Amino acid sequence: MILIRCRAETAGLAKPPGSVLGALQISALVTSVVGLPIGGVLVEFWGWRTTFFINIPFALGALIMTLLWIPRDIPAQGAKSFIGIFSRIDGTGIIGFAATMISLLIFLFSLPYFAWIPLVLTVIFGAASIWWELRVRRPFIDVRLLRKNMAITRTYIRFAGLTLCVYTVLYGLTAWIQAAKGMSSSNAGLLILPMSIISAAVAGLISKRNMVRGSLIAAAGFSVAASVCVLFLSTDSPIAFIVIITLLFGVTMGSMIIGNQTAIYTLVAADQIGTASGLFRTAGYIGSIVSSAIISIVFHRHVSDSGLHAISIIMIAVSALALILTVTDRWVMAFSKSTITNN
């Protein structure tokens, strides 16, 4: 996002480069969803370890492309020594955030049984981290930005909620498909593949128009509709009905990322785009973590139709909250192309 913002300003663009942002997110959408069926094939035929080994050539390719094509960073003043670097990147904030997340993960792994000590530590570490980030000059997580810019805070909440729903479908629905339909992991993954195609198509369509209001309403609305459809799934449901549900979530996936990303690009100044984008991804990761916890709790003993319906009710509630946050958000509802130009 920093690279795109710098290049756009160099080129004299007054509005977000929608086609570039769209291409970035389309690649992310395709790789994240296509990775599921690929992982299923790898696990089924060569074992789970291959899902890690296959990352190595791609990581090396990314490293080579970075070294060849990404411009060198401008050295920051006072950041040459270890102490200078540590203070500039807010090492204490990173440690506090890591401690908070580790405690939270330990608590989530303990569910459905409550491990109170990790939960208490999560609250303590989280509160201490917020206290520190409000006082440090260059915070790891800019809490002041979240407090001052409520529009971007609402954007993070919407994105986390809808990401929760999308990841629940990606992993919870595929687990149910394998149990209810007796499908292999590779076939269950392939059944989700149309979701990737429709999400990429929707992302491309929206990004070219720099849509925010329409895309965010569509994302939440389709998520509500798809979550309601999950409530009617059963072991006897036809495969076509499952595919339709994944296609609806594909619309949610494509529109939520592009709409929220364009909103962030518009809401923050150039010198804040890196921090804002990092928090954007963090919100998505939190949504996926909570999704994993929900799936683990509901399918703790066995995968069943009733468990899937319980997940559906949760997704309906989260989607409805995201829709309410969208239609009651004055900035989103007032968004237009003039909003981009003025900012």
82 occurs within a structural domain? no
- Same structural domain, 133 and 165: no
Cα–Cα distance between 40 and 285 in angstroms, integer? 22
- Same structural domain, 299 and 250: yes
Give the model's confidence band at 342: pLDDT under 50 very low, under 70 low, under 90 confident, else very high.
very low
Q: What percent of the chain has pLDDT over 70?
A: 91
Q: What percent of the chain has pLDDT over 90?
A: 23
pLDDT digits (tens, 9 = 90+) for 35-44: 777 887 888 8
- Same structural domain, 182 and 319: yes
The parent domain of residue 247 ranges over 23-46+142-342
pLDDT at 83: 67
pLDDT at 87: 63
185 occurs within a structural domain? yes
Give the model's confidence band at 82: pLDDT under 50 very low, under 70 low, under 90 confident, else very high.
low
158-181: average pLDDT: 87
pLDDT at 341: 43
12 occurs within a structural domain? no
Cα–Cα distance between 169 and 226 in angstroms, integer? 10
Give the model's confidence band at 338: pLDDT under 50 very low, under 70 low, under 90 confident, else very high.
very low
User: Based on the structure, what is the number of domains in the chain?
Assistant: 2
Tokens for 154, please give them.
């609402």
48-77: average pLDDT: 86
pLDDT at 213: 86
154 occurs within a structural domain? yes
pLDDT digits (tens, 9 = 90+) for 103-124: 988 887 777 777 889 889 999 9
- Give the CATH number, domain containing residue 29: 1.20.1250.20
- Same structural domain, 112 and 223: no
Find which of 50-64, 142-156, 259-273 is predicted with most confidence, using mean pLDDT.
50-64
212 occurs within a structural domain? yes
- Same structural domain, 185 and 285: yes
Does pLDDT of 33 surpass 80?
Answer: no
pLDDT at 147: 80
Tokens for 270, please give them.
């150039």
- Same structural domain, 102 and 165: no
Does pLDDT of 228 surpass 90?
Answer: yes
202 occurs within a structural domain? yes
128 occurs within a structural domain? yes
- Same structural domain, 109 and 150: no
Between 228-232, 321-325, 334-338, the lowest mean confidence (pLDDT) is in: 334-338
Q: Of 109, 139, 169, which residue is a domain's last?
A: 139
pLDDT at 339: 47
Does pLDDT of 79 surpass 60?
Answer: no
290-312: average pLDDT: 85
165-196 per-residue burial string, b: 16 or more CB within 10 A, e: under 16: bbbbbbbbbbbbbbbbeebebbbbbbbbeebb
Does pLDDT of 323 surpass 90?
Answer: yes
Mean pLDDT of the chain: 83
pLDDT at 8: 77
Between 65-69, 129-133, 177-181, 289-293, the lowest mean confidence (pLDDT) is in: 177-181
- Same structural domain, 176 and 323: yes
- Same structural domain, 311 and 174: yes
Between 113-117, 190-194, 243-247, the lowest mean confidence (pLDDT) is in: 190-194
More confident residue, 86 or 63: 63
76-93: average pLDDT: 68
For residue 232, give every residue at least 6 positions away whose Cβ sits within 8 Å of its Cβ, in sequence order, or none.
Answer: none
311 occurs within a structural domain? yes
227-252: average pLDDT: 89
- Same structural domain, 125 and 260: no
pLDDT at 81: 66
pLDDT at 68: 93
- Same structural domain, 27 and 131: no
pLDDT at 62: 93
- Same structural domain, 212 and 167: yes
